[in-house]
Chains A and B, each alone.
Chain A
Amino acid sequence: MKMSFRFSGVMFWFGMAFLYLPMLSLIIYSFNESRLVTVWAGWSTKWYGELFHDKDLMMAVWRSLEVAFWSANTAVLLGIMASVALTRFGRFRGRSLLHSLVAAPLVMPDVIIGLSLLLLFVSMADVIGWPQQRGLLTIWIAHATFCTAYATVVISSRLKELDRSYLEAAMDLGATPLKAFIQVTLPIIMPALVSAWLLSFTLSLDDVVIASFVSGPGSTTLPIEVFSSVRLGVSPKINALATIIILIVSLFTLSVWWLSRRKLKRDSKTI
């Protein structure tokens, strides 16, 4: 009993170390004085200052956030529509085909998605003259495409298990189908919409492969920027940037956790 307890404790801390030690060392090295990432030369915050003065990098951050934001919005919107078609309208011709088509990008290698989108954009530019050059717009389209697949999976699995009588009750009480969907169905599945949005946002923010196929001059996103600068030798600036991102993500997660805990407490108090 005691033995197994100790063993599981060791495993737990080993796992935690495996997950968080790299991040910890990254955070520590972001405060490194030295220009060389691997050599410790005392504490300093100078890389943070340099980071904010690096216009290219800051532009890339902003661009990435912008693309991720709009891709997530588009993906959730298209995901809702696809999910409704998949779950609500009962059986229609080509339903299972649509199902597998929507899910295909999940299993497709990024390289293939990126390449095929690149070919599409190039031939479209040839045939209809649009898009004339690749840039943020094409990245947005590309990201929206594969994020929609993920969003649809998340949203449709929630919609599928949703009791049909909510929508019917709203209609029974006088709401048109569209109104009933907006006023009743959407609020009920809101948690799924939020997770679909966050998932899409993260995937878009994270993507290097697809973006490098469809990006053009002046549309370098953060991952591409980081990736290419790392090849020339890691600058501690990147560490500083990563630390800030980690900080934001943890704050966000923590506040979500705190909000949900507070809601739980408030609910149990009113009972």
Chain B
Amino acid sequence: MIEPSLSRDSADGHFLQIKSIVKTYDDVVAVNDVSLDIAKGDIFALLGASGSGKSTLLRMLAGFETPNSGQIILDGEDIVSLAPYRRPINMMFQSYALFPHMTVEQNIAYGLKQDRMPKNLIADKVVQMLRLVHMEKYAKRKPEQLSGGQRQRVALARSLAKSPKLLLLDEPMGALDKKLRNRMQLEVVDILESVGVTCVMVTHDQEEAMTMANRIAIMEEGRIVQAGTPRDIYEAPNSLQAAEFIGSMNLFHGTITVDAQDHAVIQTTEVATPMYVSYGVTTAIEDKQVVFAVRPEKTLISRDQPDSQYNWCHGVVHDIAYLGGHSVYHIRLDNGKIVYSFMINSDRFADLPTWEESVYVHWSDDSGLVLRP
């Protein structure tokens, strides 16, 4: 029995609960004990490298694969034992899988027809969906007569037509070229938000995940490494894997030498200068090995040696990648290690360091992160 209180509960974070899902293929563990909570209206991105188990997890939500163990609870109902055609979930396939022998209209109407909806209601709904994705003019076309972006819109309309409780997107931009991709990312998010549907998407493109999703989970080898808002994951990765997966990072291996309540000092093996962070690091006493990480855009380059005894290193400019808005400096340290630093090009002809110039890279006390190796 579902109490009203339970469904209100689902509105604050438990709309879709994935509990300890495991899926193995013969001897490959594709999804390894994954638990996730997804709130109503979320656009949730599963981000991970190839083979990390994203598609498998998505296909279990859709019902095409059966988990070895675990529960999937959607709006208070365990759906693991439901067949795909009985789940209130629709999926947009990576290849779109538009039926080639049906027109755009018939494709969108297909799901509604399966529900035995009256004909006039189906027609109304189809028109409404076509308007939603701005494809009114193409109702009578066959999929082969559409461009990639148009096909994607039709596929989206088809998967939204039944007003599913949960929408699944498998690599939604995978079949589009780069330019169209950026435009469609924003457009798809607009459409999803106007409908208000809860959505789980799969992608291996971090930029896409950060543009489209309001929550992200990073998967690696079948496990969730970290789940949170894009900002959380970028600014406070909880592990080396998460830190390396999103954006770029300068990493220094070292040991903790001072571990106080409000600060910590790390002595790295690669740079003479110790690293200082202005927050306490709770470490196990016997395991002092850590990785100090700092993002390139949080570092500054100067020609003079910084005053501080912490948080800087010295090297020469090895390479400069001019990217318009900013430049990426590759600084070669004295021991050969390369450190990256971003320089915002705010001044058109500023006197910036050039190749082979001796420079110092430094950063503030709260910029660095201490991670477990």
Contacts and interface: CB of A to CB of B under 8 A. Distances in A.
A172 B90 contact: yes
A163 B95 contact: yes
A168 interface: yes
A180 B110 CA distance: 11
Interface in B111-152: 111, 114-115, 140-142, 144-145
Contact of B110 (A165, A168, A170, A176): A170
B48 to A, nearest CB: 20
A179 B141 CA distance: 24
A228 B145 CA distance: 55
B234 interface: no
Interface residues of B, number: 28
B93 A173 contact: no
Nearest to B98: A169
A171 B142 CA distance: 21
Given A267-B142, A267-B145, A172 B91 contact: yes
B95 A165 contact: yes
A271 B144 CA distance: 10
B27 to A, nearest CB: 15
Nearest to A172: B91
Interface in A191-225: none
Contact of A173 (B95, B100, B110, B145): B110
A184 to B, nearest CB: 6
B85 A176 contact: yes
Given A168-B64, A168-B84, A173 B158 contact: yes
B114 A175 contact: yes
Contact of B97 (A169, A177, A190, A267): A169
Interface in A148-182: 163, 165-166, 168-177, 179-180
B237 to A, nearest CB: 34
Interface residues of A, number: 22
B18 interface: no
Contact of A175 (B85, B95, B144): B85
B279 interface: no
Given A267-B145, A271-B145, A173 B97 contact: no
B47 interface: no
Interface in B135-186: 140-142, 144-145, 158-159, 162
A270 interface: yes
Given A165-B93, A174-B162, A271-B145, A188 B99 contact: yes
Contacts of A267: 142, 144-145
Contact of B101 (A163, A171, A188): A188
A243 B110 CA distance: 48
B45 interface: no
Nearest to B94: A165
A190 B141 CA distance: 20
Contacts of B114: 173-175, 179
A187 interface: yes
A166 B97 contact: yes
Interface in B65-90: 83-85, 89-90
Contacts of A173: 85, 90, 110-111, 114, 158, 162
Contacts of A190: 101
Contacts of B97: 163, 165-166, 168-169
B142 A174 contact: no
B16 interface: no
Given A165-B97, A168-B91, A174-B85, 19 more contacts: A163-B95, A163-B97, A166-B97, A166-B99, A168-B62, A168-B93, A169-B91, A169-B97, A171-B84, A172-B63, A172-B84, A173-B85, A173-B114, A175-B85, A175-B114, A188-B100, A188-B101, A267-B144, A270-B141
Interface of B: 62-64, 83-85, 89-91, 93-95, 97, 99-101, 110-111, 114-115, 140-142, 144-145, 158-159, 162
10 contacts: A166-B99, A168-B91, A169-B99, A172-B84, A173-B85, A173-B110, A174-B111, A174-B162, A187-B99, A188-B100
* Shortest beta-carbon contacts, A-B, top 8: A174-B114, A173-B111, A169-B97, A165-B97, A187-B101, A165-B93, A171-B84, A171-B85
